[in-house]
Structure 1
Amino acid sequence: MKRWSLLTILVCFTLVMTACTAQKTSGVEAEKIAINVEVASVSNESLDAISSLTGTLLPYEETVVSFEVGGRIQSMNASIGDTIKSGAALGALDPANYKLQVEIAENAILQSKAALNSSDSAINSAEVGIHSADAGIASSDESIKSAKANIKATEARINSAQASLSALDKGAREQEKTQAKLAVDRAKSAYTKVKVDSERIEGLYNEGLATKKEFDDIQLQVSNAQKDVENAEQSYSLIIEGATEEQRKQVLASIQEAEAGKEQAQAGVGQSSAAKGQAVAARDQAVASKEQSVAAKGQSQAAYEQAVIGKEQAELTFSKTKLTSSLTGVVLDKLVSKGQQINPGDPIYKLGRIDQLKVLLPIPDKDIKQWKVEDEVSVTLYDQVKTGKVNKIYPQTNAGTGTISVEVVIPNEQLEWVPGQVVKANRVTSDNNGILVPIEAVMSSGDTPYVFKEVKGKAVKTKVETGSLINNKIHIVSGLKEGDQVIIRGGELVRDGDPLKTDGGKKQ
């Protein structure tokens, strides 16, 4: 609408100038002077060309880097305009305090490790105590078992001795006495028989009818038979006479000895039981000590793990005293100075990736459907033109302008363009062509628009039908054809048939 207003003003100006000229020359026949104008040859152009969209170049990526911890800046390694790679060192904080925290954490690990080892030693010692107490309990059980066996053995001895004493006190029975007397008689009878045989063998021996061996054997039999008689008589005498005082004393002594053994065995049971009780108590104490040591180990283990976490945190914090680049690009701005005290998150550098640039084009919302991702866009900076591509179409309208932003990405490998420069963008969406002439070339007489063509050095007024206004040009629907020479400047001073001078103008 603003452009049509400008057209109306130009048309009115043309009419006024024409009227003034007519008044000056009315009634006077004068020789016409050639009018100096600028002409151009019209040609077909795209009717869908959208140009004169302007925008400001921006880095393809942009970020502000900061330290995650606070402190005094010790070094600044990059300057504005420096090209940097991702991961490059940009600066560092004074690490003294953070290094101290790492050392404190390492010391805490050593202390908790020592406590853990001490707990392990205590557990091992308690387990040794438990094993020793178990061995003591087993040994006491064996001692008790042995002492009880000794008690039974001594009780048997006591019973046997008491039985012997009782037998001595009662003396031999009549049957035993009879048997003893018979044993004496049998021994004497055997002796008498052997004695007779001895005398017979002796006579034969003396006469040389018996051998020396036979004589010696019979003499030995006589001696043995005599001893058997003596033993039988002695046994018979003992049975008849009864036990002696000496025998009773021997039996009593045996009883007393057995009773003493029993008491000793009973004492052994008591001692072994007491030893077992002590071993059981020692085992309980060792078990309690182990449980305490296991609990202490659990605490030491927790303290150790906490110390390890503390060290990792301290080392992580220490690592954050160094600032690195998060992208490959250039330093756009340096926001602090060396020696300055900063807080976590304070901006340090502003970095940008400019091997690619982007520009946001404001597209009227009524035209946004014509735009698509991957569309090519011609971007102009001064006399240099690059081809970019639509990377993103924003999903909402800008409230203040009624436009929708379209992001165009532009290659910039040589870094010849920089962020902040203003560029123009041009996009062609189809092959719909037509004749376009500058708005200054079209004039109007009433409702009828016309242009002046240059034909053989003279102005020829030509009516035209106009269409849309595109990029400060008017679409000529009819009245002109490609190749026509049209006055584009100076036409407001020209009338139909006036001679034209195009030496100082532009004739194509």
Structure 2
Amino acid sequence: MNETKVTRVAAPRTRFLAALLAAGLMLVPLTGCGLGGGKKKEASAPAEPKVVAVETATVAEGEFANSAAYSGILTAASTSQVSSKIAGRVVQTMVNPGDRVKVGQPLARIDTSALQQQLTLAEAAAQVTEAQAEKVRQDLENGRLTAEKTLQLQDAQTFKTQSELANAVASAKQAVAVSEAQLAKARRDRENAITSAKEAVEAAELQLAKTAADVENAIAAAQMNTGGLIQTMSAAQAAASNAAAQLQLQVTQASNAYTAASEAYEKAVSEHNAAALPTLQANMDSAKNKLELLQLQLQQAQSTVAPAVAQANAQYMAAYAQLENAQKSQAVKLAEEQVEIQKLQLATVESATVEVAERQVDQARTALDNAIKSQPAADKLTAAQKAQAEQAYANTGSTGALQVVEAQKNQAGANVQVLQEQLKDGVLLSPVEGIVQAVLTPAGQNATAQSPVVSIVSMKPVQATVNVPETDIGTLQPGAPVLVSVPAVNGEYQGKVMGIKPGMDTATKTYGVIVKLEAESPLLLPGMYVQVNRPSAPHKAVRIPADAVLRQGESGAVYVVENGKAVKRKVQTGVLTGSAYEITEGLKPGEQLIVKGQTFVTDGSPVQVIPAGTEGQKP
């Protein structure tokens, strides 16, 4: 561990300066004594505070390794006191103190000869009760089989009766349904026939009305057609006459024009008027062409009048013949006869009845009512018979004899099981894996349920209990790694803090800390001395001599020199290593710390810093 040297500040070492300082201090009280003559003595001034000689050191930082060691012992994870479940003499112990045992390993054997005799008697009693129970069961089974067979026969008879009644009701219902369906069909057929006959009458009447209307329309149309043809023929004849007259007039006018043109041409020829001849010749040719054209049109008109009149006359004769045919038509009479036929069929359909179908429905409903009324009486009879059979069957299983004998058999079996378990308990087995700590009831002594026979300690997990001062307990937390040394086996093991016991030992001011070792070894035994080290990375902090700290309850205080006076400082201490304290709060490097004489000063006392080794001398 590296420690930072404490630098001590010493006073000047020359005797001259020391003597001078002493002389100066001695002269202080003489001031005011009045060396001048005759002055009246004044009141004395307050006494000066006493100057205390102290040694100081400059506060500096040092390195702390943060490694602390705590002592303790290996402790068992658990201790098991193995007792016997039965009372008896221990006839054999199979382990010795220090032996390692596993779960289920035999430890000791208890005398069970009396239990064996009791078990033999109990097994014989159990066999007797089992035989009695078997006989009662067999008798009850025979009675049950007989009653069960009777009940099955009754169930079959009941099922048959119910099935027959159900079939009769179902058949009656089906007959009612069929007859009702037939009645409904007959009614529908009659309604459909009436509807069809009515529709046929209506259709015949409509056809009659249509035929009469068609005949009337044909006569009117023929009459209208005949009159129209007469009018058309007359109009055609008049139009042909008018056209012929107009064309005749135009022919006459064209002939006159041609005659005039011929005369004018001849006159020009006779007068030898050659200049007018071409024009007159053209006029004469034009009048001739127009005359010829009109004559041709007149001939055509005269030739078309006769055929048109003949065609109109033929159309008239045809229309007149249609008129006569329409007036002589028999369609109306045939339609009237068809109407009468359809009305006769309608009367025939309406007079038909469905009385037969209605009678069949009434008969089927009567049969259904009779079947339904007979069912309750039959059900009541079969139910009474079945109840009687069921009661007889129930009586076969309700006897108390079987319950009594079964209870006796179960009790005998339970006695056998208890004695068998007690015989097994005659050999004590280890409940845990561990080390035999002691044999508390050796062979030859009697064991009871309250007295342990063997004590076993378990070392899984291997753990140690160490004592940690209250000043360090805050630095240990569950799970923190530690190094465990066991000098007895010259071994070191990694470990972890498992927990901290809440109670503090008031005498040693320590807490019990439980540490779990990460390795198992048969060499590790309870009670072995261990040392637990808590390593951590080194760090720097303010480092002062431990005796410079004045403890005041749970806190600490120091004195520093400021302007020739002692100043009290409260400090927070950390790690204590050797003769030095770690100061976490209250001091800083470079300050002058009083390391000797601090018990003679108070806050504000004047001090004189003296060299090291001169403490106690008067300044």
Sort the TM-score into its range (normalised by shorter chain): 0.3 to 0.5
Report which of the two has the higher share of strand: 1
Q: Give the alignment's TM-score, normalised by structure 1.
A: 0.45
Looking at CA atoms only, which structure, 1 or 2, has the larger radius of gyration? Answer: 2
